[in-house]
Structure formats: C-alpha cells, structure tokens
Amino acid sequence: MIRTENLTKHFGPKVAVNSLDLEVHEGEFFCFLGPNGAGKTTTIRMLTGLIKPTQGRAFIRGFDIQQSPLEAKALIGYIPDAPFLYEKLTGREFMRFVAGLYRMPEDHLAAKCEELLELFEIREVGDQLVEDYSHGMRQKLSFASCFLHDPKVAVVDEPWVGLDPKNIRFVKDFLKEKTRNGTTVFMSTHSLSIIENVAERIGIIHRGRLLHVGTLDAIKALSQSPGSLEDVFLELTKGEDA
C-alpha cells in the first residue's frame, strides 16, 4: 500500500532522510518513531507529496506520488500535527470545501459531513468560524475532513496535541477500526504508550536512517535487557529526546 525506494531528502548539506526503504501493507497500523529531528515529518511530507525527494520514490497503492500525484493524493488522507485551517470558514463550510476538492458526489455529501461532525463531537459548533475553535476542536475537524473521502491511506502526524484523554481513546479506537476495514494508517508519534496499544509494526528512524522495522515484540527483543518500549527506544537512539 505504501512503498518507498531509496527515499532521500537533503536540506542543503543536511541529510534529513537517508535512503529510506519501507513497505507498509494494506490495513496495517504502522507507527513511525524517532527522536526530534530524526526525519519523521520530512518522510511524511514526502509520502504526501508536500515536498519532493532529493532521490528515490514513494508509492501509494502503486502510484508514484511525484509521477502520478493526482491519483496518489486521491487515496491519501492526512492529519498534520498543527492543523492550520481556513479561519474564516465555519467547520461545516470547511467540510464542504474539502469534499469539493476531492470531487465527491453531491448525493450523500451533507449526510456524510453531518455524520463525521457528529462522530467527532463538533456538530454543534459546525456553523461557527474555525477561528473561534480551540486547538482540540481544530484537530477534530482535521480528522473529520480527512476521512470525508474514505482514504485508503491515512497519514497521521502526532495527532494527540490538544486532545483530551477521552478523545485520544476515541481517535485510537477510530483509527484501529479503520485498519480493520482495510485502511492503512501511517502514524508518527512520540507517545510510546499509544504505540504499544495500537501498532502492528513499528519503524524507528534516527538521524534520517531507518534503524529497525518490526512488531512491538521484535523491537523490544532488540534490547540487551528487554524492558518497556521506552527503554528500548532510548537505548536504540542513544538517549536522544523522544
């Protein structure tokens, strides 16, 4: 579903992502883990076509994001860490806007918007301007709009900022449910406890290089003295901040 070949990104002399070869399968919940500045967000931005790789390629369901961007993007849903939305639109208008961008048929559009607004508990504020939303409400709107077009691949970048424990639980369950229905979830996060709960496989990136990929147990087994994922992560990344 997601495949990268020698994916590399240079920012001037700095190598942000170095020869990343990765494959994430259909319906898989894949967590991307690494210290600050390891190259997680840069990888995500290359996967979603927001930046161009210096070398290598990224495929979404076989579509090269650079060669066939429109086909690949139609399959992706993205939730950024900082949801910058159109402040002067209402939540409901933003949903309609996103639906239009994805050329969704008008037939059941209104019902679908309402369903997602209801699901993420922002239906009541749907007619308010986004600029009046709290950070958590913006994040929920970001989620609702992301799943409006039923993406086959959900790319999620540290989505927990601003969400309360109840909503974190809800989002975790929601994403898990989506993977059961065949959606691939590629999530970058620092929340190790959440990774332990949801990840089917984990990729650890450090200084732009993919160090290890495997299941939670396989990753834990990499440590000299197996403990929590936190201990393993700190050992593998030589004590850098998560």
Please tell me whether residue 135 binds other proteins under the rule CB under 8 A. Answer: no
Closest to other proteins by CB, 70 vs 111, is: 70
Q: Using alpha carbons, list the distances in angstroms from residue 231 to 32, 177, 220, 227, 242.
A: 17, 29, 9, 6, 11
Is residue 232 within 8 A of residue 26, CB to CB? The reply is no
In the region spanning residues 93 to 112, those forming contacts with other proteins, defined by CB under 8 A, are 93, 96-103
Helix, strand, or coil here: 69?
Answer: helix
CB of 169 to other proteins, least distance (A): 27
Query: Stretches 88-96, 170-178, 196-204, 226-234: which one binds other proteins (CB under 8 A)?
Result: 88-96
How many Å separate Cα 106 from the centre of its chain?
27
Report how many residues bind other proteins under the rule CB under 8 A. 35
Q: Counting contacts by CB under 8 A, is residue 118 touching other proteins?
A: no
User: From edge to edge, which strands make up the β-sheet containing 2-11?
Assistant: 14-24, 2-11, 55-60, 63-64
Distance between CA 17 and CA 53 in Å, rounded? Answer: 9
Smaller CB distance to other proteins: residue 69 or 162? 69
Q: Is 238 in the site for other proteins (CB under 8 A)?
A: no
Query: In the complex, which residues of this chain contact other proteins (CB under 8 A)?
Result: 45, 48-52, 69-71, 73-74, 76, 78, 80, 82, 84-86, 88-90, 92-93, 96-103, 127-129, 132
